[in-house]
Amino acid sequence: MSNNTKMPDGLLPLFPLEVVLFPHTPLPLHIFEDRYKEMIDECMALQREFGVVLVRGQGVVRTGCTAEVVEVLRRHEQGELDILTVGRQRFQLKEIHSRRTFLEGAVEYFDDIDFRPSPVETARTAATAHAELLRLSGSSETPPELDHPELSFQLARIATDLDFRQVLLEMRSEADRITHVAAHLAQLLRQHTVGAAMKNVARANGHGKHLPHLTDSE
């Protein structure tokens, strides 16, 4: 990543959220706090990115992803903003500074260090599960191409489990991520199947005791 994605003093503005952002993944945001309106205005004026970090308790997780503002969707009369951002570069926080109204961090950017190709069958299994989950949810989202260089992040967009997403963000091997994603999406499909079956049984007789084969552990 070029140095022009950093603030002039080398610190990255931080936006703590209950979100784990992946590279190349869109993230719409509603900006209403004055400190973050200041931060976003500054980032747009200087064409800089900011860092999205997951909130944990009273602190933040030390691995995050930068976000670039790609479009201002709406400016409200009271100064609030609806923006569309997209994830760019993963980073690790080395230090956090609170000298401004918003947090800033000294960060170290990182990429994968293991470049083994992803297992083809595992990738196809993950993609099939992803497509089925999209169908079941009624989503019109277009599935990613199997040859996407970071297919794991694209497939994992559908997952809402923050712990899973954070672990994935920190992994430095696409092959390992694909394996992790395939297992997680398969679990989501099983959960959906069990939930749907339980609803059908409940409508019939109010009991779920006829479904042991659906609830067996792996």
Residue 196 domain-assigned (yes or no): yes
Phi, psi angles (nearest 5°) of residue 110 = -145, 160
Residue 199 domain-assigned (yes or no): yes
Domain that holds residue 185: 120-215
Per residue in 150-159, pLDDT (tens digit) is: 999 999 999 9
**Amino acid 10: pLDDT:** 86
Residue 167 domain-assigned (yes or no): yes
The mean pLDDT of the chain is 88
Q: What are the residues whose beta carbons fall under 8 Å from the beta carbon of 31, sequence distance 6 or more? A: 37, 40, 80, 81, 82, 83
CB-side neighbour CA atoms (13 Å) of 159? 30
Whether 78 and 133 map to the same domain: the answer is no
**Amino acid 153: pLDDT:** 98
**Amino acid 58: pLDDT:** 86
Report the distance separating Cα 20 and Cα 8, nearest Å.
26
Closest CA to 103 of 62, 68, 136: 62
CATH code of the domain containing 62: 2.30.130.40
Whole-prediction pTM: 0.83
**Amino acid 83: pLDDT:** 98
Centroid of chain to Cα 212: 33
Per residue in 83-141, pLDDT (tens digit) is: 999 999 999 999 999 999 999 999 999 999 999 999 999 999 999 999 999 999 899 88
The count of domains in the chain is 2
130 sits in which H/E element: helix 120-137
**Amino acid 68: pLDDT:** 98
Last residue of a domain, one of 58, 82, 109: 109
pLDDT band at residue 5, thresholds of 50, 70 and 90?
very low
Closest CA to 190 of 162, 215, 209, 211: 215
